[in-house]
Amino acid sequence: MFATKFQNLHTRGILLLIATTLIWGTTFPVLKETVVSITPMPLIAIRFALAALVFAPWLRHLNARLLRDGVLLGLVYLASYITLTIGVETISAGRAAFMLSLNVFLVPVLGLFLGRRLQMMAVFAAGLAIAGIGIMSWEGGGFSIGDLWVFGGAFSYAIYILLLESATLRHPPLALSAIQLFFVAGVTVLWTAPEMMTQLPAIASHWGQLLYLSLVVTALTTITQAVAQQWVSAHETALLYTLEPVFAAIFSFWLLGEQFGERGFIGAGLILTAMVLSQSQASIAQWLGAKLPSKTPLLESTEVSR
């Protein structure tokens, strides 16, 4: 009975995370039109400011512990955004996508410092996913400072995934999301206010795109991620996020006419195979966890995702 209930919640979390990556995949075509007129940092500030307003009602649940965890998550999330933005200015988007996907491997490795077990199937699945993204998007060129910045973004986001997994066990997801968004919005608005003032005409002419990026891409996915990670482990979450470049390639082909060639299909196939392997392992672990006594290491290792 308990195993069936948990499996249903786990499946619901998987579907929410897939929906999250699907929405993220639509971001590229929208940004393609918007960044022509609005520079990146003001765009980030507007996205988070509008998204934060949606969560204003949940600030009434504010307490010291929630504030501490929400600000910490917001700080790490903002760090990943900034480092990735700086890196993408000096290397291609495809190369950045590959570097960012390293959080698939970084999450289970960093989990070792939290006493997690590094399961070989998770490592193998992560390797397949990274190879898939590499085939889809890697392009030539030597190692540069931009690669280091993007690696910093991947490292920061891996920490964010692990912190969020823990924080969602202690706080209501919507209240936690509210603190994160208001923190990031406050910092970025103060940082870019002078620059935003010079771009008001461009901002006014792109309200449709800005509302979509703020309310759907930022606010909605913040909710789906926080809710889903109550039931899905951190390493599974990181692996599922490798679907983002797959969906991005599909939407870019559909909306922008960009080609999705043989390498793209091979890479997407490897990513989907990695997902199936990871979920097969997760299902076995959850079933055994429900059967074994509460003191077994396997059950203890799966409790973090509940």
pLDDT of residue 73: 93
Tokens of 219: 């606010």
pLDDT of residue 216: 92
Characterize 270-294 residue by residue with b for buried, 16 or more Cβ atoms within 10 angstroms of its Cβ, and e for exposed: bbbebbebbbebbeebbeebbeeee
Average pLDDT over residues 270-276: 71
pLDDT of residue 32: 66
CA distance 169 to 172: 8
Q: Are 73 and 226 in contact (CB under 8 A)?
A: no
Radius of gyration of the chain, Cα coordinates, nearest whole angstrom: 19
Which residues are within 8 A (CB) of 288 and not within 5 positions of it... i.e. 6 or more apart?
Answer: 298
Identify the weakest region by mean pLDDT among 73-82, 118-127, 222-231, 255-264.
255-264
CB count in 10 Å sphere of residue 211 = 13
Answer yes or no: is pLDDT of 21 > 80.
yes
CA distance 93 to 68: 34
pTM: 0.69
Answer yes or no: is pLDDT of 183 > 90.
yes
**Is 16 buried (19+), middle (13-18) or exposed (0-12) by CB count in 10 A?**
buried
Identify the weakest region by mean pLDDT among 48-57, 121-130, 253-262.
253-262
pLDDT tier at 218, thresholds 50, 70, 90: confident
* pLDDT above 90 as % of the chain: 16
pLDDT of residue 238: 74
